[in-house]
A and B are shown apart, each in its own frame.
Chain A
Amino acid sequence: MVKLEIRKNAYYDSVTLMLISNELKKLDGIQEALVGMGTDLNCEIAHNIGLETPEFKAVTSNDLFVAVKCEDEATFETARNKLESLLNKKSEAKETDYYTPTLEGAIKIDPELNLAIISVPGKYAAEVTQSCLDRDINVLLFSDNVTIEEERSLKECADRKGLLVMGPDCGTAIINHVPLAFANVVKAGDIGIVAASGTGTQEVSSLIDQLGGGISQVIGTGGRDLKKEIGGLMMKLGLDALVKDPQTKVITLISKPPAREIATEILSLAAKAGKPVVICFIGGDRTEIEAYGLVAALSLEDAAHKAVALSKGETVRDYIEFSMGRVEAQELAKEEAAKLTKGQIYVRGFYTGGTLCDEAMKLMLPKLGHIYSNIPLQPEDKLTDARSGKSYQHTFLDFGDDEFTVGRPHPMIDPSLRAERVITDGKDSECAIIMVDCVIGYGSHDNPAKELSDSIRVAKVSAEAEGRHLLVVASVCGTEGDPQSLSRTQRQLMDAGAVVLPSNAQATRFVELVLSNMR
């Protein structure tokens, strides 16, 4: 088939056009490709080399055309995506030559700036944030190590002005459908989120996307917003904005359980929203939430299911099922449990997302009794020297915690420490199951599944060499639209022999099934 793509009155420099021509010809399934300005002669040549299509009639000599002969629509789609990315490459290069040293300089380049992403070292972050607020610019404050006094003063100022200060230590936001910092490419829709947690938000928003729902806005608040010192200033401001936002039909709030008086304040505000509100206080008590007439979520996954149900006008139910089906999950669990040898009794969880680790521990604590961790749920389960020491019984580690990030990037950017740990614990004869997360999307490593799946292979092979079966249970947080692609990421992990579940919560439920079958 012959397909034609036309850009009216589009002028690109010759270097770009040449690059496009060469790159398109290289694609699989493209038999012929011609890129040029739509002059008579060029159209004639297209005709001569078998690229004729009636659409050429519309082409003038001031248009850029791309004609391709390909096998099917899908190939053409690939070619078109390639074209898009190559044409945009130009704009990527456009500003690499010169960066202004000051905010004033940036405003001169673009006077319409309305949001700042700030990731400078923590001790300078408050000044930079304040200078943006002075210019009525909303802030996503990625930096950590901002003092709580600074945070309060910034948020009070922002609150007075009606501006957002998302953070400090806020990794995720999606404003006007633009993913900021660590965020996923989700469909546009009517579910708005205000969240005090980064990977928790990524999990909920990605699952909403996977369930066919869509997102209006995702506002981050930073982890300390619901502490007494801050009083939930940004959670309240964000909630208010979503209440007034006509695009938002359903609101979802995500946080660890807040201080009691703050919880009361937030819940009573949410009760007056005039829109359905799903509350996900990870591991919190549902009775108080429901007493306000709000929808309580059991897990991040459950929050996504409930929000989507509300958005679609369906009945809201607790979701504790398996996407593959309970029977199938039970059988798979039985099968896996049977392969484990007698001495293999412990579960290890190695996470790059802090909230995902926290959630997994909260969901599994009743079953496991003690979970040793660098971010333990019970003080006596604190694992000292988590980074260089050994795992102890059931051990869950958050690789994004300070202890692991001193002098190195966050594990979502550099997943190597976690990958090493999978190999180390795979050698432990008492280790039965290793649970891992894999977070994709903007901000994350280009292909985090690569190193992880390599290490899973190594761990499994070395266990087998000693006559053991090592079960690796993984969940991927992300969407099909992410640059790394959900299905590609899942496929890589499956190919490495991991059992891949669609959510963190399902991964914990699956592991519980395996454990039940072991006894």
Chain B
Amino acid sequence: MSKVNELFRKELHVVNFGIEAFYQDLTKQNKPAVHVNWKPIAGGDKEAAKNLRLLIHPELHAKIEEANQEALRRILAAQPTLVGLGIAGEVIPGMTKETILHAGPPITWDRMCGPQKGAVRGGLIYEGLADNLEAAEALADSGRIIFDPCNMHDAVGPMAGVVTYSMPVWILENKAFGNRSYCTLNEGLGKVLRFGAFDEEVLRRLRWMKEVLYPVLKAGLEIKGEIDIKTMIAMILQMGDEGHNRNKAGTSLLLRELTPAIFEAEVANDLKIAALRFINSNDHTFLNISMPACKCTLDPILGIPYSTVLATMSRNGTDFGIRIAGLGKDAWFTGPAEMVEGLLFPGFTEEDAAHDLGDSCITETAGIGGFCMAAAPAIVQFVGGKVSDAINYSKQMYEITIGEGSAYKIPVLDFRGGPTGIDLLKVVQTGIRPVINTGIAHKDAGVGQVGAGIVHPPQECFIKAMTACAKEWSPELSMS
């Protein structure tokens, strides 16, 4: 029997796109009908609409959905754990003395933004590879330095994200999958390397961190033993942090875990006191742990064939880049980094702000940060001032994610799990872009943070990624 004759024998179930009155006429007659609040895909980009359609074609979509469920399973199963501290060159795979890791997708020296260039210069001087600004500049430009994204070396870096050979790093391990991730120690606010500052004060602090802070923390952690970061993040969400722009509770909990052990450590008392004071005065200490925790949570999904879940979001102040689980480690899709909308500190104007920068949006990729904004009402001043705005941002993210956190939950949403696993297809389909809570760097090297707010990845990187997925997986396209 033909499909049309089959239709004649069934009850009509109608889906309506467009004029709503047609839907209402059907409901008036009590006929089963669903209305779709349809909007043009990607603002009317026909090519994108076609690629999307190919990808949601039932056969392929079944594969994609299955793969995405696997990705979700891996993300939820992750067990990020703080296992120790080490020196970058000794622990991060693929590091050499001439390697400088940076935030964001791959970029060449000439295209780097102000703060990132500043941080690179500072990093070269810190490593003793250059004596002064001019020498550092020349060396960076010489081609002898290897620039590579942190993300390609199991690492992440906030803002400029510069990691050099001798910097101390936190080491995290995803106990469920055995993979590790790395991140430098947070330097605090103000004039710091990650915002592109590299004067003597900055370098002195970096050396102090290596010589005092690092040994104290390392000794303390060795006594304390491993710390379960997943549980800690679950807790801080209930204490008003979202793990990206607010880390007050996280830093406090970390201190609580470490302090007794540090007291036990065989290190001179004045060093312990200095180290504890430093951590205590820097709310963002925990950011450099929540970031690698999210990083090692997400890395195991890279390479799941057909998965359209975002494995990485990151930016270098010039480009915003994403990676897709199903397209593997080396495929970056980029678009121009946008300006952050938000609140600038007194004395700064929008003209002072740099473009969106840093690897810290790995937190949103893993389902916390801006996605759990509703958990952190204290930061609503950056997003319009109303708690309801923060809640709405979180709620919207459920439209573009494949699941909900099993450990990371949002109290104000009745402990609903945070939106987890950004689906590229849903982003394009709904036109809703991921929301990222972030700091704003000054566009000039060395000035520091000038504000905070929210930002979105550019639509372009999603469209590019979707085109690549369609090319790679759609039988219709690969035939032609």
Q: A: which residues have CB within 8 A of B?
A: 88, 91-92, 95, 99-107, 109-110, 112-121, 123-124, 127-128, 130-132, 134-138, 142-143, 161-164, 175-176, 178-181, 217, 237-238, 240-241, 244-245, 247, 442-443, 483
Per the bound structure, the CA–CA distance linking A134 and B21 in Å amounts to 25
- Return the contact of B49 from the options A88, A127, A138 (Cβ within 8 A): A127
Query: Are A113 and B34 in contact, CB atoms less than 8 angstroms apart?
Result: yes
| A112-B13 in contact given A106-B34, A119-B19, A143-B18 (Cβ < 8 Å) | yes
| A113-B13 in contact given A120-B38, A127-B49, A163-B4 (Cβ < 8 Å) | yes
Q: B: which residues have CB within 8 A of A?
A: 1-5, 7-8, 10-19, 21-32, 34-41, 44, 46, 49-50, 53, 56-58, 399, 429-430
Query: Are B5 and A114 in contact, CB atoms less than 8 angstroms apart?
Result: no
Per the bound structure, the CA–CA distance linking A162 and B5 in Å amounts to 9
Query: Are A443 and B22 in contact, CB atoms less than 8 angstroms apart?
Result: yes
| A100-B4 in contact given A88-B30, A113-B15, A117-B17 (Cβ < 8 Å) | no
| A124-B40 in contact given A119-B19, A176-B11, A245-B8 (Cβ < 8 Å) | yes
| A120-B17 in contact given A99-B35, A101-B38, A443-B22 (Cβ < 8 Å) | yes
Per the bound structure, the CA–CA distance linking A283 and B438 in Å amounts to 70
| A-B CB proximity, top 6 nearest | A119-B18, A99-B37, A241-B4, A162-B3, A119-B19, A106-B34
Q: Tell me the smallest distance from the CB of A305 to a CB of chain B, in Å.
A: 26
Query: Are A161 and B22 in contact, CB atoms less than 8 angstroms apart?
Result: no
What DSSP secondary structure best describes chain A's contact surface?
Answer: mixed
| A164-B4 in contact given A117-B17, A119-B19 (Cβ < 8 Å) | yes
Query: Are B34 and A123 in contact, CB atoms less than 8 angstroms apart?
Result: no
- Return the contact of B32 from the options A99, A107, A110 (Cβ within 8 A): A110
Q: Tell me the smallest distance from the CB of A240 to a CB of chain B, in Å.
A: 7
Per the bound structure, the CA–CA distance linking A101 and B400 in Å amounts to 11
20 A-B residue pairs with Cβ-Cβ distance under 8 Å, sorted by A, are A95-B35, A101-B36, A106-B34, A107-B15, A114-B10, A114-B13, A115-B14, A115-B15, A117-B16, A117-B18, A119-B16, A119-B19, A120-B18, A131-B53, A162-B4, A176-B11, A178-B31, A181-B22, A442-B25, A483-B28
Q: Name the residue of chain B whose CB is nearest to the CB of A134.
A: B57
Query: Are A180 and B14 in contact, CB atoms less than 8 angstroms apart?
Result: yes
- Return the contact of B34 from the options A100, A241, A244 (Cβ within 8 A): A100
Query: Are A110 and B31 in contact, CB atoms less than 8 angstroms apart?
Result: no
Q: Tell me the smallest distance from the CB of B24 to a CB of chain A, in Å.
A: 7
Query: Are B17 and A118 in contact, CB atoms less than 8 angstroms apart?
Result: yes
Query: Are A176 and B12 in contact, CB atoms less than 8 angstroms apart?
Result: yes
Query: Are A115 and B12 in contact, CB atoms less than 8 angstroms apart?
Result: yes
Q: Tell me the smallest distance from the CB of B354 to a CB of chain A, in Å.
A: 34
| A175-B5 in contact given A91-B27, A127-B46 (Cβ < 8 Å) | no
Per the bound structure, the CA–CA distance linking A107 and B65 in Å amounts to 15
Query: Are B12 and A175 in contact, CB atoms less than 8 angstroms apart?
Result: yes
Query: Are A106 and B27 in contact, CB atoms less than 8 angstroms apart?
Result: no
Q: Which of A124, A175, A181, A247 has the most CB of B within 10 A?
A: A124
* B19 surroundings in chain A (CB, below 8 A): 119, 142
Q: Tell me the smallest distance from the CB of B310 to a CB of chain A, in Å.
A: 19
- Return the contact of A244 from the options B5, B35, B49, B399 (Cβ within 8 A): B5
Q: Tell me the smallest distance from the CB of A183 to a CB of chain B, in Å.
A: 9
Per the bound structure, the CA–CA distance linking A138 and B8 in Å amounts to 11
Query: Are A119 and B17 in contact, CB atoms less than 8 angstroms apart?
Result: yes
Query: Are B36 and A88 in contact, CB atoms less than 8 angstroms apart?
Result: no
* B16 surroundings in chain A (CB, below 8 A): 116-117, 119
* B22 surroundings in chain A (CB, below 8 A): 117, 119, 142, 180-181, 443
Q: Tell me the smallest distance from the CB of B396 to a CB of chain A, in Å.
A: 11
* A483 surroundings in chain B (CB, below 8 A): 28
- Return the contact of A132 from the options B15, B37, B46, B429 (Cβ within 8 A): B15
Query: Are B10 and A176 in contact, CB atoms less than 8 angstroms apart?
Result: yes
Per the bound structure, the CA–CA distance linking A106 and B17 in Å amounts to 10
